[in-house]
């Protein structure tokens, strides 16, 4: 049988090889290296902080946060889960993973929310961004591990960069969606009172989209957690590494312990971030007030405003 391959063969792999090896790596390696700097800095701080913080203090803080945001049930779960992780001897790995996750999510938010806002305010931007997001979400993460290793090397930071690429789409999508879904009559009202575009964004669109954006952040966080083991392939440490080495040595026990650690961490973080999003639905105070009440610093919103008025 004749097939198109008999007539023309496309050496796609060679092209990509020569593009990455002969063009990207020699010319842009310093550029990509410099991209690592902020990630390295943030990760360094967080990692040092979480490893410095005594286990009991950390557990106490996270339990209180869980209690304040998600209620007593989640708080009790958090307490037991953290104690359990410590007992199975994975505390240090868990802290490493946590600092990786938080770093990834932080950069996803820093990159993703502005892109989401931009896409929401311009159909043309959305037209460009959307297919890129589709590709990011469908392409298997193993595919971009290779160029990442070639451009960034191996280690924690390249692992985090892979995680960022993997976890970025939902926060962009949901920021865009949240802002686009703000009721048209509210936009009209804001416009009728003479708002500029940036006043419209910060006074009306962003606060009203916050709930959806928080849902996006939650999704991003969950995706980041699911990348933990894959990131370990290129040298990221933590619980992912425990699972990965367990796999390599056919050590079922270690792999299971690492897996349970990841699951417990995921549940705790998921419940806390989810309830942040839901809380916005009931009460709708400003972002700052929410953050304050989240950490239990502020008085209840009403009281605070009455105080301001007086």
Partner 1 sequence: MKPKLRVENVYKIFGDNPEQALEGLKEGKSKIEIFEATGQTVGVQDVSFDVGEGEIFVVMGLSGSGKSTLVRTLNGLIAPTYGKILIDDDDVASCSADRLRKVRREKITMVFQHFALFPHKTVADNVAYGLKIKGEGAAERRKKALAALEQVGLAAYADSFPSELSGGMQQRVGLARGLATDPQILLMDEPFGALDPLIRREMQEELLHLQKKLKKTIIFITHDLNEALLLGDKIAIMKDGEFVQVGTAQEIVDNPADEYVAAFVADIDRGRVFDAAHVAERPITVELGEKGAAEKALELMEEHNRNALYVVDKDRIAGLVTYQELAVAAREEGRTDLSEVMVTEVPTVERETPLNELYGAASAGYPIAVADKRGRLAGVIEAQAVFSQLSGDENDETAVPAEDAEARQSASEGDRP
Q: Which of 196, 249, 263, 296 binds partner 1 (CB under 8 A)?
A: 196
Q: Which of 189, 252, 263, 291 binds partner 1 (CB under 8 A)?
A: 189
Q: Which residue, 271 or 279, has its beta carbon nearer to partner 1?
A: 279
Task: Please work out, in degrees rounded to the nearest 5, the angle formed at the alpha carbon of residue 96 by the alpha carbons of 91 and 97.
Answer: 95
- What's the distance, CA 279 to chain centroid? 20
Question: Smallest distance, Å, CB 195 to partner 1?
Answer: 5
Residue 9, Ramachandran bin (φ over 0: left; ψ between -120 and 50: alpha; else beta): beta
Rounded Cα distance, 277 and 222, in Å: 15
* Count of residues that bind partner 1 according to CB under 8 A: 25
208 binds partner 1 (CB under 8 A): yes
Question: Smallest distance, Å, CB 185 to partner 1?
Answer: 4
Do residues 85 and 58 lie in contact, with contact meaning Cβ atoms separated by under 8 Å?
no
Draw the binding track, 261-300, toward partner 1 (x: CB under 8 A; -: no contact): ----------------------xxxx--------------
186 binds partner 1 (CB under 8 A): yes
86 binds partner 1 (CB under 8 A): no
Q: 3-state SS string over 258-285?
A: HHHHHHHHHHHHHHHHHHHHHHHHHCCC
Considering only the stretches 20-28, 202-210, 220-228, 263-271, report the one whose residues sit in contact with partner 1 under the rule CB under 8 A. 202-210
Rounded Cα distance, 194 and 111, in Å: 30
Write down the residue that tokens 């416009």 correspond to. 191
Instruction: Return the half-sphere exposure (C-beta side, CA atoms, 13 A cut-off) of residue 50.
Output: 21
41 binds partner 1 (CB under 8 A): no
Q: Which of 35, 111, 125, 191 binds partner 1 (CB under 8 A)?
A: 191
Q: Which helix (H) or strand (E) holds 10?
A: none
Q: Which residue, 51 or 302, has its beta carbon nearer to partner 1?
A: 302
167 binds partner 1 (CB under 8 A): no
122 binds partner 1 (CB under 8 A): no
Where do runs of H (alpha helix) occur along 53-139?
A: 55-70, 72-87, 91-121, 123-138
Question: Smallest distance, Å, CB 188 to partner 1?
Answer: 6
Q: Which residue, 214 or 268, has its beta carbon nearer to partner 1?
A: 214
Of the candidates 270, 290, 217, the one whose C-alpha atom is nearest the C-alpha of residue 77 is 270
Q: Which of 21, 33, 183, 299 binds partner 1 (CB under 8 A)?
A: 183
Q: Which residues bind partner 1 (CB under 8 A)?
A: 183, 185-186, 188-196, 199, 203-204, 207-208, 283-286, 302, 305-306, 309
């Amino acid at each position: 049988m004749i097939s198109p391959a008999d007539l023309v063969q496309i050496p796609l792999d060679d092209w990509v090889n020569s593009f990455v090896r002969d063009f990207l790596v020699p010319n842009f390696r310093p550029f990509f290296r410099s991209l690592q700097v902020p990630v390295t800095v943030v990760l360094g701080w967080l990692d040092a902080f979480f490893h410095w913080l005594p286990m009991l203090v950390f557990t106490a803080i996270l339990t209180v946060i869980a209690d304040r945001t998600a209620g007593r049930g989640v708080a009790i779960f958090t307490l037991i889960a953290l104690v359990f992780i410590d007992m199975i001897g994975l505390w240090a790995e868990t802290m490493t993973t946590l600092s990786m996750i938080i770093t990834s999510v932080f950069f996803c938010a820093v990159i993703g929310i502005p892109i989401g806002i931009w896409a929401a305010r311009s159909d043309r931007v959305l037209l460009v961004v959307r297919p890129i997001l589709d590709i990011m979400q469908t392409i298997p993460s193993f595919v971009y591990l290779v160029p990442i290793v070639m451009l960034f090397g191996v280690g924690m930071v390249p692992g985090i960069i892979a995680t960022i690429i993997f976890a970025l789409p939902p926060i962009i999508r949901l920021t865009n969606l949240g802002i686009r879904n703000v009721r048209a009559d509210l936009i009209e009202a804001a416009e009728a009172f003479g708002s500029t575009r940036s006043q419209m964004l910060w006074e009306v669109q962003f606060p009203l989209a916050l709930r959806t954006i928080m849902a996006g952040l939650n999704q991003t966080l969950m995706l980041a957690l699911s990348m933990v083991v894959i990131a370990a392939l290129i040298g990221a440490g933590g619980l992912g590494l425990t699972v990965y080495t367990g796999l390599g040595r056919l050590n079922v026990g270690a792999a299971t312990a690492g897996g349970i650690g990841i699951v417990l961490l995921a549940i705790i973080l998921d419940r806390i971030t989810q309830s942040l999003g839901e809380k916005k639905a009931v009460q709708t105070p400003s972002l700052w007030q929410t953050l304050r009440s989240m950490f239990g610093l502020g008085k209840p919103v009403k009281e605070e405003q009455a105080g301001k008025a007086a």
